[in-house]
Amino acid sequence: MDATSKLIDLTEINSVVDKHKEQRWPLIPLLQDIQEKFGFIPKESVPIIAQKTGLFPTQVQGVISFYEQLYSEPRGKKIVRVCRGTACHVKGGSTILKLVKQQLGIREGQTTADLEYTLETVACIGVCALAPNVTVGNQVYGQMNPKKTESLFRENGG
């Protein structure tokens, strides 16, 4: 985390913030723009955003921490989503999740140290016929089993 923080260019944050100077309720679009640029909202940007929007840093932090889709930590290049929907559950989705966790060495919501993968769970991805399902990036991997899980990240360069 700290290694990545150092890469954050404050002038870039400022230029994103300045784009929203004239906007009436700029906070959320501004946060989305920052996230677009950096993949997440760096902590260092919060006081700058607060100052420009006339808010307290705690208020900005409150908004970031409220919305699921705003991230205050760096995200992996690929988002791994293990399905916990009913069909996948019945077909052993929770075991798959456990294995994925072991494989990546992280828990739900976390990102691997090399910033390759972020692990999330999802309620249903709509292909219950293939349960249990895992998605990596935009690719769906159906009918998962322990063996396939093991090869999954090797295949993806993990």
Partner 1 sequence: MENITITLDGREVSGHRGMTVLELARESNIYIPTLCDDEHLTPIGACRICLVEDERTGKFLASCVTPISSGMVVNTQSPKVLKHRRTIIKLLLASHPDSCLVCDKGNWCQLRKIATDLGIGRIDFQHLPNWTAVEDVNTFIERDLSKCILCAKCIRACQELVVVGAIDYYLRGFATRPATFNDQPLESSECTFCGTCVAMCPTGALMEKVKTYRGAAGKSVSTTCPLCGCGCSISLEIKDDKVIRVRPLDGVNKGTLCVRGSYGLNFVHSRNRLTKPLIKQNNGFEEVSWDEALGMVASRFSKLEEYNPSSLAVLGGTRCTTEENYLLQRFARCTLGTNNIDSDNRLFRTGLLNKDDYFDSDSIEHADVIIVIGGDPSCSSPIVEYKIKRAVKYNHTQLILIDPRQTKLSAFAQLQLHPRIGSDVALLNALANVIITESAVVSGIRDHKGFRDLTKILGEYPPQTVEEITGITADNVFRLARLLASAKNLVIIYGTGVTQHIDGLDRLRAINNLIVLTGNQGKIFALQRESNSRGAIKMGITPNLLPGYQSTTNPAIRNKFEEAWGVKLPTMAGLTAMEIIQQAKAGNIRGLYIVGENPAKSYPNSTLVQEALQALDFLVVQDMFHTESAQLADVVLPVTSFAEKEGTFINFEGRVGLLQKAIECVGDSQPDWQIILQLAQKMGRPFPFTSLQEVRDEMERWVTSSHGIDNVQLWAVKYQPRQVDLDFPLALLTGINLFGIGTSTRSDKSLLLKGFSDQHAIEINGVDFQELELIEDEEIKIVSPVGSIRAVAKENSLLPKGVLFMAGSTVNRLLDIDLNPESKSPVMKVCHVRLEKV
Nearer to partner 1, 72 or 94 (CB): 72
Q: How far apart are CA 137 and CA 133, in angstroms?
A: 13
Q: Which residues neighbour 131 within 8 Å (Cβ) at sequence distance 6 or greater? A: 83, 85, 87, 88, 90, 91, 93, 142, 143
Q: What string marks each residue from 14 to 43 as x (binds partner 1 by CB under 8 A) or -?
A: -----------------------------x
Interface with partner 1 (CB under 8 A), residue total: 13
Q: How far is the CB of 41 from partner 1 (least distance, A)?
A: 13
Q: Which of 4, 14, 59, 110 binds partner 1 (CB under 8 A)?
A: 59
Q: How far apart are CA 64 and CA 88, in angstroms?
A: 31
> Contact region for partner 1 (CB under 8 A) — 62-70, 75-83, 87-95, 141-149?
62-70
Would you count residue 5 as binding partner 1 (CB under 8 A)? no
Rounded to 10 deg, the angle between the 57-66 and 45-53 helix axes is: 110
Nearer to partner 1, 63 or 124 (CB): 63
H or E stretch covering 134: strand 134-136
What DSSP designation does 7 have?
T
- Binding region for partner 1 (CB under 8 A): 43, 46-47, 54-59, 61-62, 65-66
